[in-house]
Amino acid sequence: MRSESPVLTQLAPLLLAEECDYIIEKAKGSGREPSQTGEGVVDDYRTSTTSYLPMEDPVVACLANRLATVAGMPPSSVEKLQVTAYEPGQEYKAHTDDPKRAPAQKRLRTIFAHLSDGLADGSCGGATSFTKLGSGGNPLRVFPHKGQAVMWSNYTPEGKLDTRTEHAGEAVTCAGATKWGMNAWMRSEALPKAPWRSRRPRSPQKSRAP
Ligand SMILES: O=C(O)CCC(=O)C(=O)O
């Protein structure tokens, strides 16, 4: 997997296997809804299901801080982490991650992490494919390796939406296979109520007189 323009950074690994399993369990416990597209509609453009992680959970909050650090963004820029699951035949067609947003709310950066086993050799589909990159008429495909992630900037240094980052979640093709992934989107403006942002270190406790 390689692209220097735009830069796609492979994070391998980003998450421990135990962390992937934890995220999946938390996502299952948060209820799975039909996914919406970036325009906020449910249709056959995106047929997976989605859940949002409980960001007040200490492990999840710790992960959000790690993701922000890796991306070089403040923790308060991280949106609620979104987990997405694809059963056989489900997909997310080509899209960019920041359609029609107000400038203050730009999704500057994306980290998409793969959470499941069994799809790494590509024989059961499920790749994250960058439709405008790649060669020989083939998209640049990132196959799902549990714990690995890919990171990119959705905007050019000049501040324009970088349409070269268009990507798709290819359909899972094998019966019984499920692909789990996690989106971390980081905004240009702090999310004021983000409870998972780093708390200020506590002031040292006054020592009691012996
Ligand atoms: O499933 C994938 O590989 C990509 C998912 C994605 O692009 C998204 O959820 O925005």
Q: Whose CA is nearest to atom 10 of ligand 1?
A: 97
Ligand 1 lining (C-beta closer than 6 Å): 84, 92, 97, 112, 128, 167, 169, 181, 183
What is the spatial distance between Cα 9 and Cα 2, in angstroms, rounded to a whole number?
Answer: 8
The predicted model scores a pTM of: 0.89
- Concatenated DSSP letters for 78-135? BPPPEEEEE-TT--EEEE-S-TT--GGG-EEEEEEEE--SS-TTSTTB--EEEEEEEE
Q: Where are the beta strands (DSSP E) in the chain?
A: 9-11, 33-34, 49-52, 82-86, 92-95, 107-114, 128-135, 138-142, 149-153, 167-169, 179-187
pLDDT tens for the chain, 210 residues long, are 678 888 999 999 999 999 999 999 999 988 778 777 776 767 788 999 999 999 999 999 999 999 999 999 999 999 999 999 999 999 999 999 986 666 668 999 999 999 999 999 999 999 999 999 988 999 999 999 999 999 999 999 998 999 999 999 999 999 999 999 999 999 988 776 665 665 544 444 444 444
Cα 99 to ligand 1 centroid, rounded to whole Å: 14
Q: Which CATH class is domain 2-197?
A: mainly beta
Domains of the chain, by residue range, sit at 2-197
Q: Whose CA is nearest to atom 4 of ligand 1?
A: 169
Pairing of strands 167-169, 92-95: antiparallel
Q: Whose CA is nearest to atom 6 of ligand 1?
A: 169
From 42, 46, 49, 92, mutation site for ligand 1 pocket: most ligand atoms within 8 A of C-beta: 92
- Which whole-number Å values give the CA distances from 65 to 68, 83, 202, in the listed order? 5, 17, 18
**Cα first-last separation, the chain:** 62
